[in-house]
Chains A and B, each alone.
Chain A
Amino acid sequence: MALADITTPSQETEQASVQGSGWRRSLLIAVPYIWLLVFFLAPFVIVLKISLSDVVLARPPYFPTFDISEGWQGFVAMFQAFDLENYVWLTEDTLYLKSYLSSLKIAFISTMIALVLGYPIAYALAKAPKEWRSTLLMLVILPFWTSFLIRVYAWIGILKKEGVLNYVLLWSGIIDEPLTILNTDAAIYIGIVYSYLPFMILPLYAVLEKLDYSLLEAATDLGCSPFKAFWVITLPLSVSGIWAGCFLVFIPAVGEFVIPDILGGSSTIMIGKTLWVEFFSNRDWPVASAVAILLLIMLIMPIILFQKQQEKQAEASQ
């Protein structure tokens, strides 16, 4: 309390000085806004426009196109040519629904596996002696120094029939004939969990490292066994880290294209792959754009949930 009283006056003067140079503050805030406008909102509007257009054999492969020389008339004509045909098409062919659902399923299961694997790792990191922690944390981040693509390709060498994994398992006598892992769903799960595990570990580590160890002592002192203390103290207090980790894995995993393309089989459909096929193989830009827009809307939901959760957390910790 006393501390808050002391800091308030200095904060007020700070605020006054910031308000004094209002244009500088606006400039600072403008930078990220302009960035988002140029690199997110503008492309989004272009994709939205294409998704409302019709496919044609032309260059570019859609119609109508925006021609500035026709002026206002041309602009109105363009709007009149827009329709929702592509979105209707997405509901008519079950492939798209299947792709979306399959993506959600794969992303969800991968997230759960990453949580189950990541929690003990984060816990061990947080409990490790202080002088070890930064080194161990470095090891978690180290894979990022290699290209994502190369790391995913490397899994082919491990998972294929005559790959490292099968060789070791055969050699040790655990299996008699090589397992088929590559080009199956299992390979996709392995790839996604492997790639996104650090995103699960880091937020979990951040909360677990801050966890007050005396709370666990207090719990055991009051008659709670150490095992139970984990469930009633540690786990509830790391919920914010669990949410953050899950969203950070789930969101990119839903739209994942590279991993299912490289490691998955032809029978696995994910929305990212469907989109790619639509765009490059079918050259149907409008439908591909509609798929992309729907994917974005689908992903915005968990992102909003994530933001809400973060806000709640911030309020609670005040």
Chain B
Amino acid sequence: METLVSTQPVSDFAPWNNPGEVPLVHFDGVTKKFGDFTAIENLSLNIYEREFFALLGPSGCGKTTMMRMLAGFEHPTKGNILLGQGNLQEAPPHKRPVNMMFQSYALFPHMNVEQNIGFGLKQDKTPKAEIKRRVEEMLSLVQLEPFAKRKPHQLSGGQKQRVALARSLAKKPKLLLLDEPLGALDRKLREQTQFELMNIQEQLGLTFVIVTHDQEEAMTVASRIAVMDHGKIVQVATPAEIYEYPNSRYSADFLGDVNIIEGRTDISTGETASLYWSDEEAPLTVSTSLRLPAQTTAWLAVRPEKLRISKDKPPTSDNCIQGKVWDIGYTGNISTYHVKVSNGSILKAQVSNQERLADRPITWEDTVFVHWDKGAGVFLET
């Protein structure tokens, strides 16, 4: 909203790079099974104070299970979860300094907005005057002062979402869990609320853990993202790191759009590698520190916006492939050219539309050259 505070540069804040830093939350070899089904498999993870940490993955990847274990609604089958210095295992949900914002909001329908927000404080036997003060503080934080006396069914979806947020923040928990907090909002409101969430987190100096399947949301709000798949963490890093340096095809594919080219390697030097992707064409060159034995199957992941496309063969380029324009995806600000190359696979190249539509030279069935630098892509062994 209007109170958009400028966000601190992310690089200033990186406790995960400091080996002396004690994590706020420490998952230590946690396994969770539901009957025969393994939801979380031997997972270790650190989350630091003041982080906005995102658990990202498709439904069924175990991200919600991790959150519910933090809240105390589920218990690890094996392993420990530490919060600060204390072991969380012993504490029942109502005795943890952890609050959760539910995906369904779970607002108490028989209480008004004020009573909902004050509920947690009331349970702690906080003095009445203090509850009143804190509730007012929360109401102004989420800009809902005029709605204090309304019941949940008299609120819009966005307002409910704010009440749920205010309620979970009222006790100033050490750790706030957000389970798909914006899933029920429409796109515009969701984008606006993402920034609000970040501001609130910064203003209050709390640690947030968010569960989401929306990669854009995770990239916008989070200081770090854990990409999850089938109960395992694939990669934990900052959004930029995951986007630019994914460690696997899975995380490359999960965050953003990507071209993945399969091939065989020759002996890599530790600086660059060659990828033989087609019998007829020249190998592709990639900058990489990976050393793989020759003839191993490997992949090159390169983002569509890093590919350039032209009708004439570029004079110098590390990698250049000839193809035919198969399809053009026009989304206004950018156009995505789907180029069919000699082995039949499709490469996507994104071009931002700086000129008006009619002036653009490349169209369907044109023979084009797709080219990129050796540093544009990432060399992957899994």
Interface residues of A (CB under 8 A from B): 1, 212, 214-215, 217-226, 228, 233, 236-237, 316-318
Shortest A213–chain B CB gap in Å is: 9
Q: Are B119 and A222 in contact (CB under 8 A)?
A: yes
Interface residues of B (CB under 8 A from A): 71-73, 92-95, 98-100, 102, 104, 106-110, 119-120, 123-124, 153, 156-157, 167-168, 171
A214-B104, A215-B108 known; A222-B156 Cβ under 8 A: no
Kindly list chain A residues whose C-beta atoms are within 8 Å of the C-beta of B153. 316-318
Kindly list chain B residues whose C-beta atoms are within 8 Å of the C-beta of A225. 94
Give the docked Cα–Cα distance between A214 and B120 (Å). 15
Residue of A218, A225, A226 with highest tally of chain B CB at under 10 A: A218
Q: Which residue of A lies closest to B167 (CB)?
A: A222
Contact partner, B102, options A217, A228, A236, A316, Cβ 8 Å: A217
Which 8 residue pairs of A and B lie closest in terms of their CB atoms, listed nearest first? Answer: A222-B120, A223-B123, A218-B106, A214-B106, A220-B94, A220-B93, A224-B123, A236-B110
Q: Are B73 and A217 in contact (CB under 8 A)?
A: yes
Give the docked Cα–Cα distance between A236 and B110 (Å). 7
Residue of A219, A220, A222, A228 with highest tally of chain B CB at under 10 A: A222
A221-B94, A222-B167 known; A212-B106 Cβ under 8 A: yes
Q: Which residue of B lies closest to A2 (CB)?
A: B186
Q: Are B120 and A217 in contact (CB under 8 A)?
A: no
Contact partner, A223, options B94, B107, B110, Cβ 8 Å: B94
A224-B123, A233-B108 known; A218-B102 Cβ under 8 A: yes
Q: Are B93 and A221 in contact (CB under 8 A)?
A: yes
Kindly list chain B residues whose C-beta atoms are within 8 Å of the C-beta of A237. 109-110
Number of A-B contacts (CB under 8 A): 61
Q: Which residue of B lies closest to A223 (CB)?
A: B123
Q: Are B123 and A217 in contact (CB under 8 A)?
A: no
Contact partner, B93, options A1, A217, A316, Cβ 8 Å: A217
Q: Are B108 and A223 in contact (CB under 8 A)?
A: no
Give the docked Cα–Cα distance between A214 and B110 (Å). 15
Kindly list chain B residues whose C-beta atoms are within 8 Å of the C-beta of A316. 153
Q: Which residue of A lies closest to B96 (CB)?
A: A221
Give the docked Cα–Cα distance between A224 and B119 (Å). 9
Give the docked Cα–Cα distance between A161 and B167 (Å). 61
Kindly list chain B residues whose C-beta atoms are within 8 Å of the C-beta of A1. 156-157
Give the docked Cα–Cα distance between A222 and B72 (Å). 12
Q: Which residue of A lies closest to B104 (CB)?
A: A214
Give the docked Cα–Cα distance between A223 and B123 (Å). 6
Q: Are B109 and A214 in contact (CB under 8 A)?
A: no
Shortest B70–chain A CB gap in Å is: 11
Shortest A280–chain B CB gap in Å is: 50
Give the docked Cα–Cα distance between A226 and B92 (Å). 10
Q: Are B124 and A223 in contact (CB under 8 A)?
A: yes
A1-B157, A214-B102, A214-B104 known; A222-B73 Cβ under 8 A: no
Kindly list chain B residues whose C-beta atoms are within 8 Å of the C-beta of A222. 94, 99, 119-120, 123, 167-168, 171
Q: List 12 A-B contacts (CB under 8 A).
A: A214-B104, A218-B102, A220-B93, A221-B72, A221-B94, A221-B168, A222-B94, A222-B99, A222-B120, A222-B171, A316-B153, A318-B153
Kindly list chain A residues whose C-beta atoms are within 8 Å of the C-beta of B92. 220
Give the docked Cα–Cα distance between A237 and B152 (Å). 14
Shortest A215–chain B CB gap in Å is: 5
Q: Are B106 and A215 in contact (CB under 8 A)?
A: yes
Q: Which residue of A lies closest to B95 (CB)?
A: A223
Q: Are A221 and B108 in contact (CB under 8 A)?
A: no
Give the docked Cα–Cα distance between A162 and B170 (Å). 64
Contact partner, A224, options B94, B102, B110, Cβ 8 Å: B94
List 12 other contacts, CB 8 Å, given A221-B94, A223-B120: A1-B157, A215-B109, A221-B71, A221-B72, A221-B98, A222-B99, A222-B119, A222-B123, A222-B167, A222-B168, A317-B153, A318-B153
Give the docked Cα–Cα distance between A1 and B156 (Å). 8
Kindly list chain B residues whose C-beta atoms are within 8 Å of the C-beta of A218. 100, 102, 106-108
Shortest B172–chain A CB gap in Å is: 12
Give the docked Cα–Cα distance between A286 and B197 (Å). 76
Give the docked Cα–Cα distance between A215 and B109 (Å). 9
Residue of B107, B120, B153 with highest tally of chain A CB at under 10 A: B120
Kindly list chain A residues whose C-beta atoms are within 8 Å of the C-beta of B104. 212, 214
Kindly list chain B residues whose C-beta atoms are within 8 Å of the C-beta of A226. 94
Kindly list chain B residues whose C-beta atoms are within 8 Å of the C-beta of A219. 108, 119
Shortest A285–chain B CB gap in Å is: 50
Shortest B286–chain A CB gap in Å is: 47
Shortest B122–chain A CB gap in Å is: 9
Give the docked Cα–Cα distance between A223 and B119 (Å). 9
Q: Are B171 and A223 in contact (CB under 8 A)?
A: yes
Give the docked Cα–Cα distance between A217 and B106 (Å). 9
Give the docked Cα–Cα distance between A12 and B71 (Å). 47
Give the docked Cα–Cα distance between A106 and B204 (Å). 59
Give the docked Cα–Cα distance between A317 and B110 (Å). 10
Give the docked Cα–Cα distance between A268 and B100 (Å). 57
Q: Which residue of B lies closest to A318 (CB)?
A: B153
Give the docked Cα–Cα distance between A221 and B108 (Å). 13
Give the docked Cα–Cα distance between A226 and B123 (Å). 12
Give the docked Cα–Cα distance between A183 and B26 (Å). 69
Kindly list chain B residues whose C-beta atoms are within 8 Å of the C-beta of A223. 94-95, 120, 123-124, 171
Kindly list chain B residues whose C-beta atoms are within 8 Å of the C-beta of A215. 106, 108-109
Q: Are B123 and A221 in contact (CB under 8 A)?
A: no
Q: Which residue of A lies closest to B124 (CB)?
A: A223
Give the docked Cα–Cα distance between A318 and B73 (Å). 31
Q: Are B99 and A221 in contact (CB under 8 A)?
A: yes
Shortest A188–chain B CB gap in Å is: 36
Kindly list chain A residues whose C-beta atoms are within 8 Å of the C-beta of B93. 217, 220-221
Q: Which residue of A lies closest to B170 (CB)?
A: A222
Give the docked Cα–Cα distance between A221 and B92 (Å). 9
Kindly list chain A residues whose C-beta atoms are within 8 Å of the C-beta of B73. 217
Give the docked Cα–Cα distance between A225 and B125 (Å). 13
Residue of A212, A214, A223 with highest tally of chain B CB at under 10 A: A223
Shortest A23–chain B CB gap in Å is: 38
Q: Which residue of B lies closest to A216 (CB)?
A: B106
Shortest A240–chain B CB gap in Å is: 11
